[in-house]
């Protein structure tokens, strides 16, 4: 008797979710699984289901139910019941009980994060190793090709023992699909996501997905393949006009026991053979000399080579390699907007077929004082095309290609690496960076909750630890409150002062000053400024820097050093290190604006201050206050007092005539 694939799925579904009856008297809660949902039979699309299996009380056992931790287990099923192949499936699970996901067999976190990972606000999962779901029509109902099953385990908090911990929602997040609200049952939920008729998909020339756009794109191209090893080329391409990397470090995670035999164009932080000698690789490659192997770590850390290695026959000779980890935006230098290296990868059983190639997962890349990049899972795309190395008019195709898209995430309070101070000609005080703008590792002798104290202008030249005396004196002179203990430092490596110099009928001017408080030089530095109410439209000229108005990037003013002045040197010792404070690296320039292109702006009311500032691609923390015109060089006139003085003077003159 021949069974249909849906009956086979029912048998598979039922036997894999059989469990004991519910019992709330024990510390373990196990739920009986529901029968096959009716929605599956009528689903012509992608069927998703979430099934709670059990949870067990974890240590420590506490009386407060909201603080009690529970270990939970559940399963997620993604099944293609439609007529279109689903490549690179992705789904969202709306967790809501402060869950910490410990493992996800059959999937990875789309953000590339490691387990355990907090997912209390929901999380995205991508399929691995089964990334694509075929159709029942193309596979004769083969469940192993049309269905992906994910075993979830983790910890959750804050539920009474008789409550069933279920997520808010589940949905498919692949482009071109729409999902209704899921149907909830006591211990499960399911939804059928269908093709969106309004979605205009690009015509695919192959079975692979088109390349996606992002702030940073990484291509993993297999160029040569053998039975037990392959060669891959990794290309890091910067696509964001304000993005950047300096001294980049790239890491990923091997999922199937692979190891790096050799590299060109980059190198690993640790030349380590231990993982091979004492692991499965050592058992299979018994005759291999592992002293020649470059790295056997599951999570290798890879870095770019310095420029002097570019022509090294063993390590270099790779186009676009060896820039000391610098990847600039194309707005600065297109020749330095990408970085390339090659890697030779050895595999272990059962992946000894030359077509059994799996890219590494959980990609992460970071630089020194650069944007925070969040990278997604590798997606199979059309093979990369490159010009033939023989110089002929021919195109060479990679054997297989995967794309990893990384996007910049905005930093939150305490996670910044640079900050901005504000000052103006009409106020004698400088508004410093906010307290703990870049984090507060030590609060034993300072107050992390107090506002930063106003400063005299000369205090900006001093390290924070040398500002206390001036800050106290300034507060005493100007009758400002003096908190005890004093507010903590901003702890930022780079600070930028924006000073409004002048404001006149047809224009205005500001001065921007960069301070480097790190002992690292910044080569080819840049900063970018976005002003309020489109005031940057009136950008006229920078006098000591190069400046460009990027109209397509929110009218951002892109600023970089002049040729020969593109180094922002690091902090140095004072003349007498025992008595003199450290001296920051510093560069500054005046910038002028016209008012006509940005009519309606009011410089005195704060329109002359930036709304966003970037340094080397990293967004900087802005003060929560702006200078106001209540002192200093700005002369404000009280018209009421002026009127009273005028009347008094007139009366005195009249009185003198009468006398």
How is domain 216-409 classified at the CATH fold level? Immunoglobulin-like (2.60.40)
Q: Are 464 and 453 in contact (CB under 8 A)?
A: no
Q: What is the pLDDT of residues 109-147, one digit of tens each?
A: 998 888 999 999 999 999 999 999 999 999 998 999 999
**pLDDT at res. 637:** 39
9: burial class by Cβ within 10 Å (0-12, 13-18, 19+)?
A: buried
Kindly state the percentage of the chain with pLDDT values over 90.
Answer: 68
637: burial class by Cβ within 10 Å (0-12, 13-18, 19+)?
A: exposed
Between CA 183 and CA 189 the distance in angstroms is 5
Give per-residue burial for 375-387: e unless 16+ CB within 10 Å, then b.
bbbbbbbbbbeee
CATH 2.60.40.290 correct for 418-619: yes
- 588: which residues sit within 8 A by CB, 6+ positions away? 511, 512, 513, 514, 544
Please check the confidence at residue 24 and state whether its pLDDT lies above 60.
Answer: no
Between CA 212 and CA 92 the distance in angstroms is 19
**pLDDT at res. 18:** 38
Please check the confidence at residue 538 and state whether its pLDDT lies above 80.
Answer: yes
Residue whose entry in the numeric block shows the structure tokens 């020339």:
205
Q: How confident is the model at residue 208 (pLDDT cuts 50, 70, 90)?
A: confident
Q: How far is CA 616 from CA 142, 246, 327, 514, in A?
A: 51, 9, 11, 12
Q: How confident is the model at residue 634 (pLDDT cuts 50, 70, 90)?
A: very low
The DSSP annotation for 540-578 comes to EEESSEEEEEETTTTTEEEEEEPTT--EE---B--SSTT
Please check the confidence at residue 317 and state whether its pLDDT lies above 80.
Answer: yes
Please check the confidence at residue 433 and state whether its pLDDT lies above 70.
Answer: yes
Q: How far is CA 175 from CA 171, 380, 498, in A?
A: 12, 15, 43
C-alpha 573, offset from chain centre: 34
With vertex at residue 496, the alpha carbon angle to CA 307 and CA 440, rounded to the nearest 5 degrees, is 90
**pLDDT at res. 600:** 85
Please check the confidence at residue 72 and state whether its pLDDT lies above 50.
Answer: yes
- Across 81-105, average pLDDT: 93
**pLDDT at res. 638:** 44
* Domain 5-195: assigned CATH number: 2.60.40.290
Q: What is the pLDDT of residues 218-256, one digit of tens each?
A: 999 999 999 999 999 999 999 999 999 999 999 999 999
Q: What is the mean pLDDT of the chain?
A: 87
Among residues 155, 166, 160, the alpha carbon closest in space to that of 188 is found at 166
Q: What is the pLDDT of residues 246-283, one digit of tens each?
A: 999 999 999 999 999 999 999 999 999 888 998 999 99
**pLDDT at res. 647:** 53
Domain positions in the chain are 5-195, 216-409, 418-619
The DSSP annotation for 510-546 comes to EEEEEEE-SSS-EET-EEEEEEGGGGGGGEEEESSEE
Between CA 103 and CA 101 the distance in angstroms is 6
Please check the confidence at residue 510 and state whether its pLDDT lies above 80.
Answer: yes
Q: What is the pLDDT of residues 342-380, one digit of tens each?
A: 999 999 999 999 999 999 999 999 998 899 999 999 999
> Which comes out higher in pLDDT, residue 392 or 452?
452
- 300: which residues sit within 8 A by CB, 6+ positions away? 251, 252, 260, 268, 269, 270
Q: Are 462 and 455 in contact (CB under 8 A)?
A: no
Asked, colleague to colleague, whether 216-409 and 418-619 share their fold, the answer is yes
Length of the chain: 659
Taking each continuous run of H as one helix and of E as one strand, the counts in the chain are 8, 39
Q: Are strands 522-523 and 545-550 parallel, antiparallel or unpaired?
A: unpaired
Between CA 469 and CA 485 the distance in angstroms is 13
Between CA 245 and CA 365 the distance in angstroms is 9
Residue whose entry in the numeric block shows the structure tokens 């006149």:
504
Q: How confident is the model at residue 579 (pLDDT cuts 50, 70, 90)?
A: confident
- Across 317-321, average pLDDT: 94
Among residues 534, 524, 569, the alpha carbon closest in space to that of 247 is found at 524
**pLDDT at res. 36:** 53
């Amino acid at each position: 008797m021949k069974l249909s694939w849906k009956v086979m799925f029912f048998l598979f579904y039922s036997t894999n979710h059989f469990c004991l009856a519910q019992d709330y008297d024990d510390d373990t809660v196990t739920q009986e699984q529901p029968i096959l949902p009716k929605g599956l039979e009528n689903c012509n699309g992608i069927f998703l289901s979430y099934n709670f299996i059990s949870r067990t009380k974890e240590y420590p056992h506490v009386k407060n139910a909201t603080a009690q931790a529970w270990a939970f287990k559940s399963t997620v099923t993604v099944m293609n019941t439609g007529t279109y192949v689903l490549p690179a499936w992705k789904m969202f699970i709306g967790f809501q009980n402060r869950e910490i996901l410990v493992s996800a067999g059959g999937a990875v976190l789309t953000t590339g994060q490691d387990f355990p990972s907090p997912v209390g606000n929901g999380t995205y999962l991508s399929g691995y190793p089964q990334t694509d779901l075929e159709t029942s029509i193309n596979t004769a109902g083969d469940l192993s090709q049309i269905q992906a099953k994910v075993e979830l385990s983790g910890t959750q908090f804050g539920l009474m023992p008789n409550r069933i911990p279920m997520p808010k929602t589940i949905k498919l997040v692949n482009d071109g699909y729409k999902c209704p609200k899921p149907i909830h049952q006591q211990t499960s939920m399911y939804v059928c996501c269908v093709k969106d008729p309004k979605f205009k998909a690009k015509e695919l020339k192959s079975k692979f997905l088109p390349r996606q756009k992002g702030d940073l794109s990484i291509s993993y191209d297999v160029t040569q393949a053998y039975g037990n090893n392959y060669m891959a080329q990794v290309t890091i391409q910067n696509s964001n006009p304000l993005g950047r990397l300096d001294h980049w470090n790239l890491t990923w995670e091997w999922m199937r026991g692979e190891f790096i035999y050799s590299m060109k164009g980059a190198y690993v932080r640790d030349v380590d053979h231990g993982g091979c000698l004492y692991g499965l690789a050592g058992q299979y490659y018994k005759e291999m000399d592992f002293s020649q192997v470059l790295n056997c770590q599951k999570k290798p850390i890879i870095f770019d080579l310095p420029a002097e290695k570019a022509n090294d026959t063993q390590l270099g000779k790779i186009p676009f390699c060896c820039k000391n980890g610098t990847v600039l935006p194309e707005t600065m230098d297109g020749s330095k907007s990408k970085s390339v290296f090659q890697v030779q990868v050895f595999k272990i059983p059962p992946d000894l077929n030359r077509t059994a190639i799996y890219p590494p997962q959980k990609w992460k890349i970071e630089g020194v004082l650069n944007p925070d990049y969040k990278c997604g899972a590798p997606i199979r795309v059309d093979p990369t095309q490159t010009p033939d190395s023989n110089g002929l008019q021919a195109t060479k195709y990679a054997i297989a290609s995967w794309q990893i898209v990384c996007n910049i995430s905005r930093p939150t309070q305490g996670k910044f690496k640079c900050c901005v101070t504000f000052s103006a000609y009409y106020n004698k005080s400088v508004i410093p960076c906010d307290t703990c703008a870049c984090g507060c590792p030590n609060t034993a002798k300072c107050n992390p909750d107090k506002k930063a104290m106003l400063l005299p202008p000369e205090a900006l030249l001093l390290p924070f630890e040398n500002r206390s005396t001036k800050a106290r004196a300034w507060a005493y002179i100007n009758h400002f409150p003096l908190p005890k203990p004093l507010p903590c430092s901003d702890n930022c490596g780079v600070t930028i002062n924006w000073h409004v110099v002048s404001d006149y009928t047809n224009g205005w001017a500001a001065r921007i000053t960069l301070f480097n408080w790190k002992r690292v030089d910044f080569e080819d530095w840049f900063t970018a400024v976005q002003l309020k109410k489109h005031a940057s439209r009136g950008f006229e000229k920078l006098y000591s820097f190069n400046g460009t108005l990027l109209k397509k990037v929110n009218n951002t003013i892109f600023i970089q050093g002049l040729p020969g002045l593109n180094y922002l040197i690091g902090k140095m010792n004072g003349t007498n290190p025992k008595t003199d404070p450290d001296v920051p690296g510093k560069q500054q320039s005046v910038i002028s604006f016209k008012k006509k292109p940005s009519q309606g702006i009011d410089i005195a009311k704060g329109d002359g201050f930036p709304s966003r500032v970037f340094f080397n691609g990293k967004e900087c923390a802005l003060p929560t206050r702006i200078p106001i015109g209540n002192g200093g060089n700005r002369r404000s006139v009280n018209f009421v007092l002026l009127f009273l003085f005028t009347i008094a003077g007139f009366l005195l003159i009249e009185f003198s005539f009468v006398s």
